[in-house]
Amino acid sequence: MILTALASCASADFVFLQRVTRLTNGNLSAHLTKLSEARLVEIEKRFVDRKPNTHVLITAKGRSAVTEHWRRLEQLRIGARRLKPASS
């Protein structure tokens, strides 16, 4: 969900990601750390209106991972549609 949100824009801040995913501070931080370690996102610390602000942007690797994820889901959906229920 975090990657899908980030793939739809240039970047988003921590507050937005928290609202959209409904995760707690700690939970979202843990997710972002793991995504950053996997080089799927980049985390930037900035100052906005003299207040610290965490900005997150998706990397090219992250973007292709999201595209691949949706492609596979679509394939599954098409595959499931082709399946016919077994006659009893």
Partner 1 sequence: MTDTRQVGQIAGRYLDLQGLRQVAVGIGLLFLFAYEMVGPLTSAEIRAAGSGRVLLGLGAVVVGFAIAVAAAARISAWYRRNYGSVERTVRQRRLGMLIAGAGVLAFLVPFNIETTTMNSGHTLPVNLMDFTLALWIVGYWFYIGRSFRHYLVIAGIGFILGIASIAGIPPSTFVWHLREATLYAAFASIVGGLIDHRILTNALLRVDTRVGVGS
List 24, 33, 64, 67, residue binding partner 1 (CB under 8 A): 24
For position 31 contacting partner 1 by CB under 8 A, the verdict is yes
Write the CB contacts of 10 (distance below 8 Å, at least 6 apart in sequence).
57
Select the span of 24-32, 35-43, 79-87 touching partner 1 (CB under 8 A): 24-32
Q: Residue 54's closest CA among 36, 73, 75?
A: 36
Measured from the CB of residue 71, what is the shortest distance to partner 1 in angstroms? 14
Q: How far is CA 31 from CA 26, 40, 41, 43, in A?
A: 9, 11, 11, 12
For position 14 contacting partner 1 by CB under 8 A, the verdict is yes
| Interacting residues with partner 1 (CB under 8 A) | 1, 4-24, 27, 31, 48, 53, 55
